[in-house]
Structure 1
Amino acid sequence: MLSVIKHLFSRWAWKMAWRDSRPVRWRLLLFSSSIIFGVAALVTIGSLRNNLNEAVESQAKSLLGADLMVGSRQPYQKPAEDWFTRLRVDGAQQSSEISFTTMLRLGEQSSPKLVNLRGIEKAFPYYGKVTTSPPDAWEKLFTTPGIIVESSFLKSMNAEVGDTARFGNTELPVLGVLLKAPPSSSGFSALSPTAVTSLDTLEQSQLVGGKSLVFYRKYFKLPPGIDPEAVVKDKAQLIAKQRLTQTTSKRRSENIEKAINRLYTFFSLIGLSALFLGGIGIAGAIHTHVHDRLSAVATLRCLGCSAARAFSVYLAQSLAMGIAGSLLGVLTGCSLVELTRIVLERLPAGLIPFEVEVSPAWDIILNSAGIGLWITLSFALLPLLAVRRVSPLAALRRADGIQQSSKRDPWRWVVMLSLVLFSFLLTYWETSGQNKGGMIALGYTFFLLVSFSVLSLSGFLLRHLAKKCSRPGWPFVLRQGIANLHRPNNQTGIFMVSIGLGVFLIFTLLLTQNILRQWLDPERMENRPNLFLVDVPPEEEQQVEQLMSQSRVKMLGNAPIVQLRLTEIKGTPVNELIVPSSGRKPIPRWILRREFRSTFRENLTDTETLLSGEWVGSVEGLQPDAAIPASFEQKLASDLGLQLGDEVTMSIEGFGESVKVRVASLREVDWRSMNLNFFIVFPKGSIDPYVSFNVLAAHSPDADATAEFQQSVFEQLPYVNSIDVSLILTTVQSVLDTAASTIRIMAMFTVFTGGIVLIASILSGRRVRVRESALLRTLGASREQMARILAVEYALLGSMATLTGAVLALVASSLLGRLVFEGASEGESYRIPWEMLALNSLSCICLIVLLGMLLSRGIAKQPPLQILRSEEMH
């Protein structure tokens, strides 16, 4: 090995490599381009990740609008208010926000829509700037009662600035539209439009209080030198005891960076797939090239050249291929980054919540080029090992069998194991910023091994079947086309890998998108709730039901809601459990802090399955100190460490009372259904007096019926919110379509790489095909027969590769559909789109045959005698 490295850096090796490559230089350059798109993908995605992370770090405070945010789902109690007062005394600036979801109507003709309404004080945000149209709308908001809405929402309501907006019993003029909204920490704002008014105006409305689920937030700008993280850590017990939520500008930016890194990991794995596929192409190119140059190697050995020195010549050629491909990949990636910058500059203002300066990152460029070069050399080593086995005697005879001896070379297994280890380490390095990066790397390496193994095995089976199944009585064209699949120097293996892997990736994406569409299709919800009415006061329940009976909307369920919080678990206060302890299993904090909205009923629903214990539907004459027998969702009970018979204590929000609850049964809940599902279900008669509001589930036959019903409810009960699930699903579908388009674009890197490998494979075997065509034409075959023979060969290759890739994609997507998306309790299953599969498969096969025929043009045009003479001289 040391001697090979020594000779590799000698002038003689590079001069010989350049001279030896003269007759096939164009072919080697074509094969080196097979790694271009993999390197380009890594450069593009890596540079964008760096640009986004740098933008997030530099604008971290503007993403939150403050140094610290403290939130609550109920008015702040005295201990929290005292803390806020001390912060102000210490020099902190403070702003308040109240937000909730409500129905809002613009103008007199439009139907009301659910929005996230925010009441904000003028000082917020402390970092960043709110942009509106007209520009002075934000200033007017705090001097004149009014409201500002999103531009897209205003257009969808066919309204304009100056129209009247009505929510509850309040009417306000629309002062402008938001071009860049104030920072929001509400997750619901992603699925509903945002409307902003002043805090004073919102507090004067009649919606704040018991009729709406209100979120309270305090924003703080801390004095210089005070670390928000230290403030939060110092008040950790107070925050836990008061059940407050908090986030800092640093944590907000870290969360965004984490999301960016997750997306980067996914896309970089696609880029690595393209690189590994390009490596297969490099291996095929070197295999063909070395086989053609064995006589030249033998001649060098006769002239006294050592095996290591001859090996260094072809290793230098491989190194040159890697350098050329990596440089072209870097140039392509930089061009794509520049194109991305141009696209981002033309996006509507405010679409991205922070400014991003897009430019290629030099460290990413160097890393990507190095990865491309290393993959080229790694995959080139396998076929290059044959050079070490060439003896001088091969110069006097044909060396067709020398290649086979390399299969027994122990270095072959060393190189293969090194490739697997390198794949794992490279993937682990790319995913090192993610949780469970090692598992991701291990899974991806396993995916590569399985994919390449299955495709290689399919190629072996195709060659074996072609050799065994051909019959003398079959037509000449068919027999010759089948024979081409197993003849010496056949291209079956590399065809199967290059085409099959590309088909597998693209078909998997298409089928996965189809799964999501099936489960988000509004038509699938024909007999399921697609309209929910929340915040329905118990005294108004009959009126809402009467409005339903007067419309085409059908009520499917009614759940009275009681709001509870955990205070003790098996006798241990929750405040003690929030602090981690080595002596007990940690309980997720979201469970300990959350507010459980539970209900009571007599029976199980269709989306629930009783796993253990006894279902108690109703209780009568329960003693005041007795524990209420309730049913817990299985996973929640497991997270809390509860078993049948265990007891917890829960406080009833808004009533100042507590109840003891006993785990009477455990249920499995199908959360994927759109029904009214709950973590904890109480028996009827146990907590009936503590109902805060009702949630009604209904089904609307169409959008017109939904609009008509929402209009009626809004006119008579403006504080009742209705959630149109079909509208939310439409929004989700549009997001998924955009994401799917982005993923398909990234997957095209792999497809283009496979196409280059395919084209280069066809062209690299052109000389052998010319010789074979000359022999067949000497035996009497016509040009038309030669064309049909090639068509049969490419049709069989394309069919087998496409079929294998489609089967792999079908298995992967079916597992995903049945294990993740199947509604077992409702007897539904994932429907495979056979028509789409058949149409896309046929298109792939036709494209492969067409490409193969175009690249094989002219094979049968050269005179057979000229070819045979050149072969004889050779």
Structure 2
Amino acid sequence: MAWRDAKASKGRLLLFMSSIILGIAAVVSIQLFSTNLKENIQRQSKSLMGADFIIDSKQVPTARAQAIIDSLKPGASEVNFVSMVVFPKQGGTKLVKVRGLEGNFPFYGKIDAVPASAANRYQESGGALVDAALLLQFNAKVGDSIQIGKLTLPIAGALKSIPGSSTFSSSVAPPVVIPYRFVAATALLQFGSRKEYQYFYKASDTLDLKRLEGKIGPLLDLENADLDTHTSTTKRLGRRYDNVGKFLNLAAFIALLLGCIGIASSVHIYIKEKLRAIAVLKCMGASRLQSFLIFLIQISGIGIIGGTIGALIGAGLQDLFPYLLKDFLPFTIEMRISVQPIFMGVCLGLFMSVLFALLPLLRTWYVSPLAVLRIEEQAAQEPKKVQIFVFTAILAFLYVFSWWLLRDALYALAFVAGTVITFALLAGVALGFIKALKHFFPKHWSFTIRQSLLNLFRPNNQTVVLVVAIGLGTFLISTLYFTKDILLAKTEVEQEAKQANIIILDVQPEQRDAVVKSIKAKGLPVLNNIPLVTMRMHSIKDRLVNELHRDSTRQVKGWILNHEFRTTYRDTLIASEELIKGKWVPELKPGDPVVISISDNLASDANLSVGDPVMFNVQGVLMETTVGSIRKVDWAQLQLNFTIVFPKGVLEDAPKFNVLTTAVADEMGAAALQNDVVTKFPNVSIIDLRQVYSLVEDILDKVSWVINFMAFFSILTGIIVLIGSVRTSKYQRIKESVLLRTLGAKNTQILRISAFEYLFLGLLGSLVGILLALVGSWCLAVFVFKEPFVPALIPFLVFLPGITVLVLAIGLSNIQTVLRSSPLEVLRRES
């Protein structure tokens, strides 16, 4: 019976099926991609690191750390640091990451260079491997020279990739690889220089890396060094990309939810039209269970077939994600198809189709045989207890599935709550619009407009489901554009005299006055001249750091115990700071107890409060201090912020170096300043914030492209739901149109009535979606980013008219049958 009825209604059932196919396809493709990504990370973890494990230190290893390093016999070693380089022939300068390598690195993977032989011969020949993109930027080629500090080397090859470099870090500071033996000749490793020493190892097959990490790791921690294995790198990378996968999964899940709501709405009208036939079946002796199972089998079939088709489409779509995310992945992904995500897609299609269609399906259970004789419009209603049970089951499933995607109970609850609130707001606006329309109906408007408005709240209207479908898709994409503008506003370069956009780092005390003179000689202001003093914590609240290292129950975060703090001293707070506890002390007199100000995140991680004692090791000299105040620091602002600030009168005689900032009006001025300063002072590094802002904007563009792609699933699903909803109510609309034609209405009038109805629906749905996105983005800007909110115009100029026209086109295509045929012909065909 289910098969016979399905054949008679195959057009509608196919539309129901298409509502979930895209959602299943999105979920399956992302699940397959995430599975492949994890497998590739595990498979290529050694190649990403270039070794089985690494020991690294931010300073020259101590005697005990060096003894451990030598006992394990490293196969290769490296010192890396960030510095400016000069291309003498081209006259350009650039901030790069210099990697001085010695030994047979890498043990896994390879250095990809042009020519290929340069990767093996650069140490022997004494040349440099320079990032290929950097060579293109300065129009340099193999055979030219590069100046690094006081050292000039020939360019031996164009470096395309090397283990240990990420796409993002290479964008900020491209890698330049030189032989280790030449590092000292650069004269760049001076006091305060940021550097890292790394020792690479290839382990035997019998070595247990986890056991080694547990045994050697704590000993190295005491010496301010770290041991990092390829397995721990795998976990770290896995967590990083797992967050991307979770976001994409949620975006796909929203598309699937939208399709399921479309099914619920369409099945509601479909079953309502079948209730009289069900009553006839019951008069002929069919039981409640039989009549229920007829339609349950139909919906189950839709779910299984839709889930299978969606899973197969998803298997094909997964190949797009490596292309979309290639700029964020440090390796090439080999794609494979696994069974689990496809099986999950089929099961998800079945379960969600049945679950969301259950409420209208249950109405078949409560249809009375007397419904054959009754002519009232009111259909049989299931008891309230049944409705509550079904809604609870839907919410429980949404929570369980969200938890399975996120692996976090609180985030899953927040996602479900946010989804329910968004759907409720969209539905509430639609219902409120209908109620307002009934109450303030424009009785004096023209007949066609009045009739189109009446259609919005006629029996079997689709106003609520269409507003939800259209509004959610518009909401997703509009929110993307609004929030992208907020993020860009955080990194916008304002052309003001007081806005620093050039930062000069690692200026030694004897160089400071000369660098200031060079800046002023260019007619530029010196906006900041900030002294930096490096130090480590010796004890926290009278407990030695070495003692805290060994205490597994400590309440102090591990990073603090090994961290080399770069601190400063001044007498005022800056714009990115706000005093939240204690008293700000601007200056101390000789002999006064030393009080310091710390950031709120340091206070939390070190378990410190106002009045707690902290002892620092300042270049070998111990200094007792007390926490005098705690500041809230806005780290999102691209300026020099500090976790620890001393008052004036304490650190003036300590070994230090300086950071200077200035503002340059244009790119030519920035290049001239950099060339002049780097030529005179090769050890300094210069960060051009214009390049950083451009990089951030480029990354945001790429991220928004990925989000747009995912929002496309929601928009496309919304369109299919729209088509399904329109087609489902086609019979009722045809009857109305035929009656109007019989009463003398012309084709143009019927066309206008339908056109106005879909125009109102399209405008309402897209406008509500944009306004919700506007409110949500305003809250983000004001309460999270603390930025003035200026909304983008694209949602208003493109999405609002574009989606409205799309809704109008789909709606009008449905009425063509009536317009081309006589009323009698239409009635005969439909019956």
TM-score (norm. length: structure 1): 0.91
Name 1:34's counterpart in structure 2. 19
Q: Answer yes or no: is the 8 Å Cα contact 1:148–1:195 preserved in 2.
A: yes
Structure 1: distance between partners of 2:330 and 2:587: 51
> What secondary structure is seen at the aligned counterpart in 1 of 2:715?
helix
User: In the alignment, what sits opposite 2:438?
Assistant: 467
Would the aligned equivalents of 2:578 and 2:633 in 1 still touch at CA under 8 Å? yes
Distance in 2 (alpha carbons) for counterparts of 1:473 and 1:354 = 67
Q: Structure 2: how far apart are the matches of 1:818 and 1:451?
A: 20
* Aligned partners of 2:755 and 2:812 also within 8 Å: yes
- What pairs up with 1:441-456 in 2 under 5 angstroms? 441-456=412-427
Aligned to 2:33: 48
CA contact (8 A) 1:601 1:684 kept: yes
Q: SS of 2:527's equivalent?
A: strand
Offset, 1:607: 2.5
- Which of 279, 283, 292 matches 1:298? 279
**Structural mapping, 1:555-704, within 5 Å:** 555-582=526-553, 586-622=555-591, 627-653=593-619, 656-704=620-668
In the alignment, does 2:97 pair up with 1:120? no
Residues 217, 227 of structure 2: 8 Å contact kept: no
2:820 counterpart SS class: coil
* 1:158 counterpart = 2:129: no
Task: Work out which of the residue numbers 813, 833, 843 in structure 1 matches 2:777.
Answer: 813
| 1:147 equivalent in alignment to 2:128 | yes
Number of paired residues? 831
Does the 8 Å contact 1:532/1:723 carry over to 2? yes
Paired with 2:60 and 2:291, the residues of 1 have a C-alpha distance of 81
2:362: which partner in 1?
Answer: 385
Range moving further from structure 2, 858-867 or 530-539 = 858-867
Contact 1:496 1:801 in 2 (8 A): yes
Matched, 1:541 2:541: no
Give the 5 Å matches for 1:278-317: 278-317=259-298
SS in 1 for 2:9: helix
Q: CA deviation at 1:338?
A: 4.6
* Percent identity between the two aligned chains: 34
Tell me how far 1:334 sits from its aligned partner. Answer: 2.0
Secondary structure, aligned partner of 1:688: coil
Match of 1:862 among 776, 798, 821: 821
Cα distance in 2, alignment partners of residues 802 and 548 from structure 1: 53
Quote the residue 2:228 is aligned against.
247
**Which residue identity lines up with residue 597 of structure 1 in the other structure?**
R
CA drift of 1:185 comes to 8.4
| Superposition deviation, residue 52 in structure 1 | 1.6
How far apart are 1:839 and its partner, in Å? 4.3
Q: What is the aligned counterpart of 1:735 among 692, 696, 699?
A: 699
- Secondary structure, counterpart of 1:273 in structure 2: helix
Q: Secondary structure at the match of 1:696?
A: strand
Native 8 Å contact 2:577 2:633 kept in 1: yes
Query: Which of these residues, 794, 798, 804, is aligned with residue 845 of structure 1?
Result: 804
Q: For 2:801 and 2:458, how far apart are their aligned partners in 1?
A: 26
Partner of 1:486: 457
Structure-2 change in CA distance of 1:189 and 1:657 (3 Å): farther
Partner of 1:19: 4
What residue is the counterpart of 2:385 in the other structure?
410
The answer to whether the aligner puts 1:358 opposite 2:329 as a matched pair is: no
2:181 is equivalent to residue 191 of structure 1: no
| Structure-2 residue corresponding to 1:722 | 686
Question: AA paired with 1:454?
Answer: L
Amino acid at match of 1:633: S
Deviation at 1:495, TM superposition (A): 0.6
**1:367 Cα deviation from its structure 2 partner:** 0.8
Number of the residue aligned with 1:3: none
- The amino acid that maps onto 2:398 is S
Secondary structure of 1:112 counterpart:
strand
Q: Which amino acid aligns with 1:130?
A: I
Matched letter for residue 777 of structure 2? S
AA aligned opposite 2:150: N
User: Is 2:794 the counterpart of 1:830?
Assistant: no
Residue 431 in 1 paired to residue 406 in 2? yes
Aligned to 1:169: 150
> Which residue number corresponds to residue 713 of structure 2?
749
In 2, Cα distance between equivalents of 1:153 and 1:692: 32
Equivalent-residue separation in structure 1 for 2:253 and 2:801 (angstroms): 28
Moved more, 679-688 or 530-539: 679-688
Give the letter for the 2:432 counterpart: L
Q: Secondary structure at the match of 1:743?
A: helix
Provide Cα deviations, 1:661-702, integer angstroms capped at 9, x if missing partner.
Answer: 122222222222233221111122211111321011221111
Tell me, yes or no, if the aligned pair for 2:491 and 2:638 is still in contact at 8 Å. Answer: no
Counterparts of 1:329-348 in structure 2 under 5 Å? Answer: 329-338=310-319
Alpha carbons 2:90, 2:140 under 8 Å: kept: no
- Aligned residue for 2:511, secondary structure, equals helix
Residue number among 220, 223, 238 corresponding to 2:204 in the alignment = 223
Contact 1:552 1:701 in 2 (8 A): no
Task: Choose which of 421, 429, 444 in structure 1 pairs with 2:396.
Answer: 421
Specify whether residues 556 and 855 from structure 1 end up closer, same or farther in structure 2 by C-alpha distance, changes over 3 A only: farther
Instruction: Identify which range, 838-847 or 144-153, moves more after superposition.
Output: 838-847
Query: 1:504 Cα deviation (Å)?
Result: 1.2
Contact between 2:90 and 2:138, CA under 8 Å: does it hold in 1?
A: no
Deviation at 1:50, TM superposition (A): 1.3
State the SS of the aligned residue for 1:744.
helix
1:13 corresponds to = none
Name the CA distance, whole Å, in 2 between partners of 1:526 and 1:220.
51
- Runs (5+) with no aligned partner, structure 2: none
Q: 1:524 to 1:802 in 2, by over 3 A?
A: farther
- Paired with 2:523 and 2:750, the residues of 1 have a C-alpha distance of 69
SS in 2 for 1:689: coil
How far apart, in 1, do the equivalents of 2:489 and 2:320 lie?
A: 34
Distance of 1:515 and 1:606 partners within structure 2: 19
Which residue matches 1:498? 469
**Which whole-Å CA distance do the structure 1 matches of 2:226 and 2:455 have between them?**
69
Q: Provide the residue aligned with 1:261 in structure 2.
A: 242
AA at the equivalent of 1:861: R
How far did residue 184 of structure 1 move? 4.1
1:554-581 CA-partner distances (Å, limit 9, x unpaired): 3211111100110101111112223455
| 1:33/1:328 contact within 8 Å kept | no
Give 1:344 deviation, angstroms. 9.2
Q: Which runs of 5+ in 1 are unaligned?
A: 1-15, 823-827
SS of aligned partner of 2:661: strand
Instruction: Tell whether the 8 Å contact from 1:34 to 1:278 is kept in structure 2 after alignment.
Output: yes
Paired residues of 2:478 and 2:795 also in contact (CA < 8 A): no
Equivalent residue letter for 1:203: A
Aligned partners of 2:531 and 2:657 also within 8 Å: yes
Aligned counterparts of 1:444 and 1:576: Cα–Cα separation in 2: 42
Match of 1:551 among 513, 522, 535: 522
TM-score scaled by structure 2?
Answer: 0.96
Indicate the SS of the match to 2:650: coil
SS of residue paired to 2:737: helix
Structure 1 residue 594 displacement after superposition: 1.1
Letter of the structure 2 residue corresponding to residue 468 of structure 1: H
- Residue 488 of structure 2, aligned match among 517, 525, 546: 517
Correspondence for 1:74: 59
Q: Equivalent residue for 1:60?
A: 45
Shift in Å, 1:613 = 2.9
Question: Letter of the aligned partner of 2:649 in structure 1?
Answer: G
Cα deviation for residue 101 of structure 1 reads 0.6
| Conserved? CA contact 1:508–1:812, under 8 Å | yes
Q: Note the C-alpha offset of 1:212.
A: 2.7
Q: What is the rounded CA distance, in whole Å, between the counterparts of 1:767 and 1:331 in structure 2?
A: 33
